[in-house]
Amino acid sequence: MALNRRSTSRLLMLASAGSASLIEIAPILDALNAGRSLMVVLFLGLAYQVGNGLARKVGRSPKVICALAGLGLVAWMVAGEMLSVQMVAVAAMSASLQACRRVLGDAADVREIALATKRAWRVSGFLLAAMLPATYAIALAVAVIALGTGLLASLPDSMSEREVVRTHAIDTPPSLLQEQLWALMVVHQTHYFVYAYAILYLAFQVAAGSAVAAATAFALGWITYLSAERLWNRFPDQCVFVAGHTFLAACLLCLGVVGENSWIAILLWVLTGFGGGSVYCLVSISAKSGLLAERVERAEDVGHVGGVALAIALLAVGGVGVSGLAVAGAALAATAAAGMQALGKRLSRAHDA
Tens of pLDDT, residue by residue over 242-256, are 999 999 999 999 999
The structural domains of the chain, ordered by start, are 2-166 (1.20.1250), 170-352 (1.20.1250.20)
Of the pLDDT bands very low, low, confident and very high (cuts 50, 70, 90), residue 151 is confident
Instruction: Quote the mean pLDDT of the chain.
Output: 89
Output the pLDDT for position 167. Answer: 45
Region 301-315 average pLDDT: 97
Q: pLDDT tens across 227-239, in order?
A: 999 999 999 999 9
- pLDDT of residue 105 exceeding 90, the answer is no
Output the pLDDT for position 145. Answer: 93
**What percent of the chain clears pLDDT 70, i.e. is strictly above it?**
89
Residue in 6, 85, 18, 97 with CA at minimum distance from that of residue 51 = 97
Output the pLDDT for position 344. Answer: 78
User: By the 8 A CB rule, do 123 and 219 touch?
Assistant: yes
Output the pLDDT for position 199. Answer: 95
- pLDDT of residue 146 exceeding 60, the answer is yes
Q: pLDDT tens across 185-200, in order?
A: 999 999 999 999 999 9
Of the pLDDT bands very low, low, confident and very high (cuts 50, 70, 90), residue 107 is low
Region 14-29 average pLDDT: 95
Output the pLDDT for position 163. Answer: 45
- 196's CB contacts (< 8 A; 6+ apart) are 45, 307
Region 43-65 average pLDDT: 93
Output the pLDDT for position 118. Answer: 81
Which is more confidently placed, 81 or 246? Answer: 246
Region 322-340 average pLDDT: 96
Output the pLDDT for position 12. Answer: 87
Region 54-63 average pLDDT: 88
- pLDDT of residue 3 exceeding 80, the answer is no
Q: What is the pTM of this model?
A: 0.91
- pLDDT of residue 58 exceeding 80, the answer is yes
Output the pLDDT for position 5. Answer: 67
Q: pLDDT tens across 344-353, in order?
A: 777 766 555 5
Task: Give the range among 111-120, 192-201, 322-331 with minimum mean pLDDT.
Answer: 111-120
